[in-house]
Amino acid sequence: MYEIIYEELEPKKEYEPIVKKVLTQCFKEEKLENSKLCITVIFTTPNRIKEINQEFRNKNKATDVLSFPVFERDELNEKIAKKDFLHEDMLGDIVISIEQVEKQAIEYNHSFERELSYMLVHGFYHLMGYDHIKEEDKKEMRPKEEKILSTLKISRKED
């Protein structure tokens, strides 16, 4: 279902249960548990995510998360409807700047787990073809993200 890669960072085992919990719930929510879809989660540095952002999006700045879907939304929906998962397929890559996750957790006054979980869910829904550029798209994507976090009881503020 997923692979974790640490790029320019030392591996941290404490991230892995968060990735497992969140992506398992994402797959369950979208009824993809029995698919052979796979996601690569890449944890990296601000400098490396800036390079990736420049290379693939022509934006010369660091960011928190980047998603690189393999399928267009319609193509993926057709594949899901047909249950066309005879072979393992990549759903895509999610690249996350761990340093930015740490900063945003402090800035938004919630836990590192909550911020990392949000980045994973957000990246997952981009891989599923959702976006948030237009307001009507945001209204479709945000409730899906919030449902996953709510189901997992991952709240915005630490208790």
How many residues are recorded in the chain? 159
Q: How confident is the model at residue 138 (pLDDT cuts 50, 70, 90)?
A: confident
Domain ranges of the chain: 2-151
Fold of 2-151: Collagenase (Catalytic Domain) (3.40.390)
Nearby residues of 69 by Cβ (< 8 Å), 6 or more positions away: 76, 91, 92, 126, 127, 128, 129
* pLDDT attached to residue 71: 87
Say if residue 86's pLDDT is above 70.
no
